[in-house]
Structure 1
Amino acid sequence: MSAGEMIEVVLPGKVEPEGLQVRQGAVPAPGPGQVVVRMEATGVSFAEQQMRRGRYYDQPPFPFVPGYDLVGTVLTAGDGVAPSLVGTRVAALLKVGGWASHVVVDAADVVPVPDGIGAAQAETLVINGITAWQMLHRQARVRAGQTVLVHGANGGVGSVLVQLARAAGADVIGTASARHHDALRERGVTPVDYRTEDIPARVRRLAPGGVDAVFDHVGGRSIVDSWGLLAPGGTLVSYGTASTRDDEGSKQWPVLKLLGRVWLWNALPNRRHAYFYNVWAGRALSKDRFRARLRADLTEVFEALRRGDITAQIAAELPLTQAAEALRLAESGTVAGKVVLHA
């Protein structure tokens, strides 16, 4: 690839991972207020797994370039952007477009990556770190001495969430398959095997009075069980519908059903609370406020990494041209952490 060329991975429709298309083109030019970021690391999130099935609730029409987030170096800057930004390593939250060697981003949407943090390390903590930090500290407001339950404790978000919760002084129960239990114990997490154990019964034995917070990305029956495990004053944070990934039918219905449950539970005369977390919430109302909060929270996550409160869990690194293999690996359920793509 020459200096003036870019490559991008296109999702043409509902396809198996091998149906992804690699396309070449010219490096884009930034418009006013924009920068071109030379991608150094992007990732495979659960969102892309849903998107290739047409199951992500607000994905764009096919074809499009997936890629929820990225880390890279600012290559060029458009009018109105400080020239000093060129050459800076930054992170950006995109929703789509990150699976490309060069990406145009609004300069106001990039967050500097501190010195000493590698691109792949930082990439594991963009969408996953923001999600974990905001759910833990902005919604559940977990405090030292509390007990929390994290579903999918070995996953991209879950692995960050359990570490942040432990750093906050909470006791953590985490669901995962047996192969990940030793790693969870090393992090001070009490593991529960979601494949072989009765999760509600096991959690009630571990926390007879209920748990102070549950973080649930599964949806379906799991969300009802999660609500029932809360202690008085506890908080349920739902942030996905993984159980419906392979379903047919409306992609909006599982989310609408979740929102309906959350509304109903909060309307009941009880001291428990339920939230449906969406990282993009509030952006339409105030883009400036959204950006400021994103920058502040991602900076906190990067500082937690530098302190050693959390580690960057890289499941595998593959070149962008092997996005199909990366997506297949991420969907296999055999890895812990995040699968990272590099240019």
Structure 2
Amino acid sequence: MLAIQFGRFGGPEVLIPVELAAPVAGPGEVLLTVEAAGVNFADTHQVDGSYLTADALPFVPGSEVVGRTADGTRVLARVSGGYAEQVVAKESAVQPIPEDLGAAEALSLMMQGLTAWHLLRSAARLREGETVVVHSAAGGVGSLAVQLAREFGAGRVLAQVSTPAKERLVLGLGADAVITYPHGEKADVVLDAVGGELFDQALGSLASFGRLVSYGNAARSGFTPLDPARLNRLNAAVVGFWLRPALAAPGAVSGPLKELFGLVAEGRLKPVAGGSYPLAEARRAHEDLLARRTVGKIVLIPGA
């Protein structure tokens, strides 16, 4: 079968199409034929070796797929090695999905939807009427966080984006305004996956008892010094968030996913399908993602 693998850490150029033996499902597992594999920004960190945990090489990235079981059931699944034509998943990590739900829309609710949900509910502990700022608001996580913040009771939702087209997108999703730093409004919650200078600017914008939730380092800026005395003066908090261990908690997947699918079914949450790439062109997908040429959820399609 065709799969995408990297044998050394680096940029998108290390992603190589290879032929591998098809996986075999073991006890408690199910074999899936992949319809679409989700691409997440965390995948780029795995590829360049900056992810929070190191993976043994060679490695096939991909943590989520839409696929079909041997009996033809269409499912959404959390996996390892999803950039492939076939993959095995734990039976407990597989959820049937409707035939009329687009693959990109379904995949957006898995890692990115769960991230957005937990950022607001578990990490920031958003309260009614608070002001939320979402960095990278046109991306997969950000576009969902903008909508969920409103759904969860935020008083104002402010977005940070990089282009006029992305500004139009997030305003259409319900953001009250697009901001640049410095700006006049104080934020109760800031969701930041960029780090570096943007992190520092966001920290200075927090209201008293505000929370800045850091869940990524897209700027690849290295260590960001944080002075506890500054937090004292701001009367604010910095919260770190990593999805992988968060999902190990009881109910951390099934409950939030049920809520997310329900909101989509009711038309109150609109996942943004950003585009698809042939599986063999995973390198180009990563290049576009890193260059901020994408919005919403991008996917890889085997056989395209």
Q: TM-score, normalised by structure 1?
A: 0.79
Tell me how far apart the structure 1 counterparts of residues 271 and 118 of structure 2 sit (CA, whole Å).
18
Contact 2:23 2:88 in 1 (8 A): yes
- The residue number in structure 2 matching 1:238 is 214
From 170, 176, 179, give the equivalent of 1:184: 170
Structure 1 residue ranges (4+ consecutive) displaced by more than 6 angstroms after TM superposition: none
2:286 match: 327
* Match in the other structure for 2:150: 166
Aligned pairs for 1:55-134 within 5 A: 55-75=50-70, 86-94=71-79, 96-114=80-98, 116-134=100-118
Q: C-alpha deviations, 1:232-274, integer Å up to 9, x for none?
A: 2322211011111xx6xxxxx64xx68xx49x48995975333
Which amino acid letter does the alignment assign opposite residue 163 of structure 2? A
Deviations 1:281-325 (CA, angstroms, capped at 9, x unpaired): 256xxx5x44x3212112211222212222121211122122122
User: Where do residues 161-310 of structure 1 align in structure 2 (5 Å cutoff)?
Assistant: 161-170=145-154, 171-179=156-164, 180-192=166-178, 197=180, 199=181, 201-202=182-183, 205=184, 207=185, 210-244=186-220, 254=223, 261=226, 264=228, 268=232, 272-281=236-245, 287=248, 289-290=249-250, 292-310=251-269
Pair 87,190 (structure 1): closer, same or farther in 2 beyond 3 Å: same
Amino acid at match of 1:17: P
1:35 matched residue in structure 2:
30
Segments of structure 1 that go 5 or more residues without pairing to the other structure are: 1-5, 76-85, 248-252
Query: Is 2:8 the partner of 1:24?
Result: no
Contact 1:266 1:274 in 2 (8 A): no
Structure 1 residue aligned with 2:141: 157
Selected match of 2:274 from 315, 337, 341: 315
Distance 2:234 2:287 in 1: 43
User: Matched residues, percent identical?
Assistant: 34
Highest CA radius of gyration, 1 or 2? 1
Change (3 A) 1:141 1:16: closer
Deviations 1:108-151 (A, max 9, x none): 22233356422222012211100001111222232442210111
Contact 2:31/2:86 (8 A) holds in 1: yes
Letter in 1 for 2:173: R
Cα 1:92–1:265 shift into 2, 3 Å: farther
Query: Is the contact between residue 266 and residue 273 of structure 1 (CA under 8 Å) also seen in structure 2?
Result: no
What secondary structure sits across from 2:160 in the alignment? strand
Contact 2:143 2:173 survives alignment (8 Å): no
The Cα shift of 1:66 comes to: 0.8
Describe the superposition over 1:146-165 as per-residue Cα deviations: whole angstroms up to 9, x where unpaired.
Answer: 21011111111111100111
Q: Deviations over 1:185-206 (max 9, x none)?
A: 222324446xxx4x1x21xx2x
Aligned length: 300
**Which of 332-341 and 184-193 deviates more?**
184-193
Q: 1:265, 1:273 within 8 Å by CA — same for their partners in 2?
A: no
RMSD: 2.6
Distance, in Å, in 1 between the alignment partners of 2:279 and 2:190 is 35
| Contiguous gaps of at least 5 residues in structure 2 | none
SS at the partner of 1:36? strand
The 5 A counterparts of 1:4-15 are 6-15=1-10
CA contact 1:111–1:295 (8 Å) conserved in 2: no
String of CA shifts for 1:79-101, please: whole Å, max 9, x gaps: xxxxxxx543332334x411011
Task: Tell me the secondary structure at the aligned position of residue 243 of structure 1.
Answer: coil
